[in-house]
Structure formats: C-alpha cells, structure tokens
C-alpha cells in the first residue's frame, strides 16, 4: 500500500482540488487520449469539435467552484501546475470569444463553452459523485470518442476502469509500488513502528526513498513547504472582496495587522496562539477562494489547516527546524494516506469531515511528532482531531469555497493543536483507535444525505441568504 507524500500535497490552484484541479487534469488527460492511438479512429476522419458534461456535485456546485473555468483551461492544454492564476481569466475569455481551443501539439478544435460545456444535474454518473464526460466529434457531428473520469478528491482523477480497479484493490496508486513499510491502517503502522523501532516519519521516508533519492525527497518536501508558506504570505498581503458574488471580504490581513500591533505594544493576549493559527489558515483559504496558487493538504478546501499548524510550530516552538518540517509533512502524509485508503478525503463523498477533519488529523499527527511524540501518541493525536470532526457536513453557501470553509480551516487548526497537546501529555493509550474513527467517518459519509455532500442543497447553503 503506497500513497506518496506528493500525492497528498500537490501544488495547484484554487478554489477546489476536486472541482477545479481534478476537472482540469481530466480535461488534459482527455486531450492526450484524443491525440493518442488508443481508440478506433476511422480513416481520414478528424476531430473537429470537443464537448464536456459535468455531473453530480460538479454540476451542482461547479460554477461556484470554478469547474467550468477549469475544464476550459484544461482543454487549452493547461494543468494545475502549469496554469498561471493571473492569466487564467484572460485565457477563459479568449476561448469564450473565439469558441475554439488550440492546445499545444493539437490542430485546434471548435469548443463553444456556452453550448459544448453542459452542467447536467439530472444524470449523475454511477461511479462517484464527481463525474464528468468528455466528447470528441467529427465535422459532421458524429461522436468519435467519449471518456468518463471521476474526480475523487484531493485532485486525484481516475477513469472508469481505474475506479473499478481501485475499488477492487483499495487504492489508485498502489500498483507496482512495493515499499518496506506497507501499512494500510493505523494498527499496522503502530505494529511496524514497534517492530522496527522507527518513527512514523522515518518509516514514511524509507518508503518514499524506494522511489526517489533522499535529495529528491528533501527538495520536494522543502518545495511543498515553500509553496504553503508563500500562500500564507500572499494571503496576508491581500485585501478586498473575494470573487463569486457572495461579497465576502478578506480578513486575514486586517487580523494580522492587529496582532502585529498588539505584539509590538507588548499587550497581553491570552488567545495569541489561537489568533495566529486562525489568521494563517484564513490567509491560505482566502487565497484559495480567490483562485490563487495553493497546495492540497489534503484538498484545496482544507488547504489552510495544516500549513497554519506548521507555521504556528515554527512561530512558537524555538526548537523548530528544517528537518522537523520534513518530519511533520511525512507524518501527516502517513496519516492522510491511511484515511484516504480506508475512507475518503472528498467532501462530495463523506462531507467536510473528510476534508477539514482529515486535514486536522494530519496536522495533529505532524505536530505531535515534531514535539517528540511516540508513534502511539501521534496516532492518538490524529484520532482526537478526527473524532471531533465526525459528522461534519459540506454545505458551502453559493457553492463557493468561502463560507463556512475559510473559518472552518481556522477551527480545524485550533483543534489539531489541542489534539496534539492532549495526546503528548498522555502515554499513547486511549479509548477510540484511529482506525475506528476513520471507519466511523466512512460509515457516516455513506449514511449522510446527498444534500450535505458538496451539492449546496442543504445546511448553511439554504439557510443563509445570498446578497
């Protein structure tokens, strides 16, 4: 069982990993298929026009989450890594005006988003709540190629066949990757740690280093933290209203300025740590809501919690160092991998417990580890954080990743620090195992009404008047 740290922490753009990054990746995968030879292309017939349809949650909240823009950008050849957030709007407007996409390496295809991009709320695709189909037609309008993809959370995209294989084998990234510590749940992780005498971060590092050099791993981890930190810093420097029509104002910068003022005047603030955690998390999620550059942790909607806790550790703990940052990320990824393998990190599948709940558990585990926690204490920290997010629904107002998402990340960060602090003061023994909390989250997600799974059909989304 292997899910790389770089599968969970992916650099991309906001506002949503499942509804923005995933569909953009799916569109670029479809382009590759169109250009490839893996389908029966009638002799002399050329692809003239492309189309796409979004289903389930992607149809309900796609406009608020920027899914339509993501598909357009993907069909121009952009990916979440290559796209420049500052140029994306102009690229989308160009496609709308020209009714055509010209991805590099392709002859160019007709594609009028007003006609060829359909939000189909009536026909969910059966494999997953976030389904989408792409189509290629010839000049006579005959369908030449159709492919279905699912965006399964955290920016992961699978085809129908891959989804089936994943359901049978348990993970999308397990194939062909053998690792020395193949733990697929927390019990196995603790057993292997006990037998080997290694920490969770050390086992995860050894697993990663079977596929890359130590230097590559450390550079990659440093790059991830640098992107997270850059996102916090950008978020703390911006003002104004976030896009999408809700007219929600950015607050992180103002709160940051107030805190700095208090700090300089030496005014006592008993809530200091909470305040810093909140502004760091909100800075990231405001950037995400504005379509900026963010890192999935494990998703975009939950991208603020973990960086906030890591930045808090650097801010308040004098022993914090570069090696600790790497251990934090590796430990968090180990826990995130277990959650993704056995339940879900997708709001459309299990509600926000799978997004901010998972992020909080990962952050709690990372913090507990770098504060010197044993593997048992780390597992306890993750469990406490996840347990106290169980049942949390996904009900974004207006389908935008703003309310409740931005503050929710702040609260997820505060809970993560509390969980790590409680766990490290114990001896690692505790009542609810992490595996039980994860299985409870999965079952709760299955039972959860679709209204509360990123469809904006229930909860806050229907009880808050949009103005």
Phi, psi at 158, each rounded to 5°:
-130, 150
φ/ψ of residue 280, rounded to 5: -65, -45
Q: Does 282 bind ligand SF4 (CB under 6 A)?
A: no
Residue 302 interacting with ligand SF4 (CB under 6 A): yes
CB-count exposure of residue 238 (10 Å: 0-12, 13-18, 19+): middle
Span near ligand SF4 by CB under 6 A; candidates 2-10, 132-140, 350-358, 360-368? 350-358
Residue 338 or 448 having the CB closest to ligand SF4? 448
Binding mask 435-454 for ligand SF4 (x = CB under 6 A): -------------------x
Q: State the nearest-atom distance from the C-beta of 340 to ligand SF4, in Å.
A: 14
Helix (H, G, I), strand (E, B) or coil at 297: coil
How far out from the chain centre does Cα 156 lie? 9
- Using the rule CB under 6 A, which residue among 62, 375, 404, 445 binds ligand SF4? 404
Burial (Cβ within 10 Å: 0-12, 13-18, ≥19) of residue 273: middle
Nearest residue to 20 (alpha-carbon basis) of 103, 88, 90, 116:
88
Would you say 1 or 361 has its CB closer to ligand SF4?
A: 361
Least distance CB 413 / ligand SF4 (angstroms): 13
8: nearest Cα among 220, 192, 198: 220
**Which CB sits closer to ligand SF4, 74 or 347?**
347
Among 204, 340, 408, 430, binds ligand SF4 (CB under 6 A): 408
- Report, in Å, the least distance between residue 352 CB and ligand SF4: 3
Binding status of residue 401 toward ligand SF4 by CB under 6 A: yes
Residue 335 sits at the vertex; the CA angle it makes with 430 and 215, to the nearest 5 degrees, is 135
Residue 355 sits in the site that holds ligand SF4 (CB under 6 A): yes
**β partners of residue 11:** 295
CB 308, CB 366: distance < 8 Å: no
Between 405 and 424, whose beta carbon lies closer to ligand SF4?
405
Among 73, 231, 345, 352, binds ligand SF4 (CB under 6 A): 352
Among 51, 64, 131, 301, binds ligand SF4 (CB under 6 A): 301
Q: Binding to ligand SF4 by residue 394, rule CB under 6 A? A: yes
Nearer to ligand SF4, 31 or 282 (CB): 282
The answer to whether residues 389 and 346 touch, using CB atoms and an 8 Å cutoff, is: no
Task: Please identify, among the stretches 29-37, 330-338, 347-355, 431-439, the one whose residues bind ligand SF4 according to the rule CB under 6 A.
Answer: 347-355
Residue 133 as a binder of ligand SF4 (CB under 6 A): the answer is no
Q: Residue 419 and residue 414: Cα distance in Å, rounded?
A: 9
Minimum CB distance to ligand SF4, residue 289 (Å): 10
User: Rounded distance, CA 341 to CA 233, Å?
Assistant: 32
| Closest to 163 (Cα-Cα) out of 155, 178, 151 | 151
What b/e readout covers 75-102, taking b as 16+ CB neighbours within 10 angstroms? bbbbbbeebeeeebeebbeebeeeeebe
CB burial of 35-69 (b: ≥16 within 10 Å; e: otherwise) equals eeeeeebeeeeebbbbbbbbbbbbbbbbbbbbbbb
For residues 91 and 300, which CB has a smaller minimum distance to ligand SF4 in the complex? 300
Residue number, 329 or 461, with CB nearest to ligand SF4: 461
* 405 makes contact with ligand SF4 (CB under 6 A): yes
Smaller CB separation from ligand SF4, 379 or 454: 454
Does 153 participate in binding ligand SF4 (rule CB under 6 A)?
Answer: no
Strands 109-110 and 100-101 come out as antiparallel
* Least distance between ligand SF4 and beta carbon 345 (Å): 9
Residues that bind ligand SF4 (CB under 6 A): 301-302, 347, 352, 355-356, 394, 396, 401, 404-405, 408, 454
């Amino acid at each position: 069982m292997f899910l790389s740290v770089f599968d969970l922490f992916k650099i991309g753009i906001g506002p949503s990993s499942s509804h923005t990054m995933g569909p953009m990746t799916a569109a670029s995968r479809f382009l590759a298929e169109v250009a490839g030879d893996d389908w029966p292309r009638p002799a002399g017939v050329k692809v003239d026009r492309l189309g796409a349809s979004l289903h389930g949650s992607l149809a309900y909240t796609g406009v608020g989450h920027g899914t339509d823009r993501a598909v357009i950008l993907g069909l121009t050849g952009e990916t979440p890594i290559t796209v420049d957030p500052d140029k994306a709007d102009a690229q989308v407007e160009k496609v709308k005006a020209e009714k055509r996409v010209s991805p590099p390496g392709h002859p160019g295809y007709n594609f009028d988003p007003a006609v060829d991009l359909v939000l189909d709320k009536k026909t969910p695709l059966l494999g997953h709540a976030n389904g989408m189909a792409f189509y290629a037609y010839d000049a006579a309008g005959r369908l030449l190629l159709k492919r279905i993809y699912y965006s399964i959370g955290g920016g992961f995209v699978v085809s129908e066949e891959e989804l089936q294989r994943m359901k049978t084998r348990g993970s999308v990234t397990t194939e062909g990757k053998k690792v020395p510590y193949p733990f697929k749940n927390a019990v196995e992780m603790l057993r292997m740690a006990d037998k080997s005498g290694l920490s969770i971060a050390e086992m995860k590092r050894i697993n990663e280093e079977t596929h890359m050099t130590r230097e590559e791993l450390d550079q990659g981890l440093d790059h991830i933290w640098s992107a997270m930190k850059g996102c916090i810093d950008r978020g703390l420097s911006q003002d104004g209203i976030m896009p999408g029509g809700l007219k929600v104002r950015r607050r992180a910068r103002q709160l940051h300025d107030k805190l700095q003022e208090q700090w300089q005047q030496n005014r006592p603030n008993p809530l200091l740590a909470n305040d810093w955690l909140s502004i760091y998390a909100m800075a990231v999620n405001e950037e995400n809501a504005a379509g900026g550059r963010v890192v999935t942790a494990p998703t975009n909607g939950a991208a603020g919690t973990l960086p906030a806790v890591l930045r808090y550790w650097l801010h308040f703990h004098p022993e914090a160092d570069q090696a600790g940052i790497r251990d934090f990320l590796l430990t968090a990824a180990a826990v995130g991998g277990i959650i993704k393998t056995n339940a879900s990190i997708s709001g459309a599948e299990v509600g926000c417990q799978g997004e901010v709940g998972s992020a909080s558990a990962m952050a709690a585990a990372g913090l507990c580890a770098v504060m010197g926690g044993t593997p048992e204490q780390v597992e306890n920290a993750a469990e406490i954080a996840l347990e106290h997010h169980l049942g949390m629904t996904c009900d974004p107002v207006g389908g935008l990743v703003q309310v409740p998402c931005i503050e929710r990340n702040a609260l997820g960060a505060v809970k993560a620090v509390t969980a790590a602090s409680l766990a490290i003061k114990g001896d690692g023994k505790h009542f609810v195992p992490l595996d039980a909390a994860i299985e409870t989250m999965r079952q709760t997600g299955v039972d959860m009404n679709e209204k509360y799974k990123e469809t904006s059909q229930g909860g806050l989304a229907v009880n808050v008047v949009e103005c």
